[in-house]
Amino acid sequence: MADMTRVYAGTQEGLFVVRSSGGTWETVNRVFPNSVLESVSGCRGDPRRVYAGVAHDGLYRTEDGGLRWTKVFDGDVRATSVDPTDDNVVYTGTEPIHLYRSEDRGETWEELTGLQNLPDEAKNHWWFPVEPHIGHVITIFVHPEDPTMIYLALEHGGIVRSFDRGETWEDVSKGIDYLDIHVISSEPHRFDRWFVSSARGFYASDDPAEGWTRAEDGFTRDYFHDFIFFPPERVGESPTMLIATADKSPGSWNRPEYARSAVFRSDDGAKSWRRVGTGLDDDLKPMVWALVPHPTDRNAAFAGLGHVSRGPAHGPSGPGSLLVTRDRGESWQRIIDLPGDRVLWAATE
């Protein structure tokens, strides 16, 4: 069967819409060519509707698979997420840290002002090490089985959560000593197992309010970004996990080997990790910034690489590429070269 898949690759130099065609891949559109893409998220029910967040600009929507785009939100957008239970509901996070929700596919918006009511003890951590030193929302996680439960990863700032669709919030960052957070997610179909990646650690928790503990057995890297899940290979087993890592934070990458990125895999719920990646260099210079599951192949996923620092949403791009695995990360093949990739979304045609 032909692989009828469309990948949206948000780079340091615009958004590339790439699709499979007869076993090969082609770029069908490139938009926002002079802009930095910070987020991309699509709809489960209508795969041709996708939202793209452009730094220092706003949120755009396509309803035809990436051919035409309409601006639906003004602002410095750094995160977006479509409610996995309702394609009409879209969340957008910005720099500075604010959160907005649309109930009508982005036509109108309301700010969830309860986020600003967190105590100063938590909000004092909302900053960023690079000028203008302002923190932002980097990940919005809406639980697929209870959309009233929302978690935000703040870069910098920690982790905050809401149990009432964003009306009220609490900080749940206890146990993480450096609050440069990247991705937050629960294990699929669970409410009692959570994971978070950060610039200086990977953590797990059965209850984030009680705190986080490191889950790093087997890692030979100490900087963590995107992680994804594959369905369990057999009934009763844990889902397979993949995570993108690097050797220290981007501030240390002014060296010949640059990021020294690597992909690791866990088959036991993050109790242990092993390095995978036949087809990847031993000292991979560009960072693997983005991982996203294939929309129909339970063993496949895409990776976006970039020789660029993900932090500052400005500046020139180094080279990048889009890769695919069809064996849960054991081996990878290049699809296409791109400017430095930052974010990904994959959907069916």
**C-alpha separations of 342 from 52, 171, 228 in Å:** 12, 27, 16
CB 87 within 8 A of CB 44: yes
CB 212 within 8 A of CB 203: yes
pLDDT value at 309 more than 80: no
What is the distance, to the nearest Å, from the Cα of residue 140 to the centroid of all Cα atoms in its chain?
Answer: 9
Give the containing element (helix H, strand E) for 85: none
* Residues in CB range of 103: below 8 A, 6 or more apart: 88, 89
Report the percent of the chain where pLDDT is more than 90.
91
CB 177 within 8 A of CB 200: yes
Rounded to 10 degrees, the C-alpha dihedral 304/307/310/316 comes to -120
If phi over 0 gives left and psi between -120 and 50 gives alpha, with beta otherwise, what is residue 65? left
Beta bridge partners of 194: 186, 205
- What pLDDT does residue 23 have? 78
Look-up of token digits 């699809």: 335
- Of the candidates 132, 126, 192, the one whose C-alpha atom is nearest the C-alpha of residue 159 is 126
- What pLDDT does residue 1 have? 44
Please tell us whether the domain made up of 5-348 is placed in CATH 2.70.70.10. Answer: no
3-state helix/strand/coil string of 249-263: CHHHCCCCCCCCEEE
pLDDT in tens, 134-192: 999 999 999 999 999 999 999 999 999 999 999 999 999 999 999 999 999 999 999 99
Mean pLDDT of the chain: 95
**C-alpha separations of 42 from 88, 230, 264 in Å:** 11, 19, 26
Q: How many CB atoms lie within 10 A of CB 56?
A: 14
239: DSSP letter: P
Q: How many CB atoms lie within 10 A of CB 333?
A: 10
Which residue type occupies 348?
Answer: T
CB 265 within 8 A of CB 254: no
Beta bridge partners of 334: 323
pLDDT in tens, 76-97: 999 999 999 999 999 999 999 9
pTM, rounded to two decimals: 0.97
What are the structural domain ranges in the chain?
A: 5-348
127: DSSP letter: -
pLDDT in tens, 6-58: 999 999 999 999 999 777 899 999 999 989 999 999 999 999 999 999 999 99
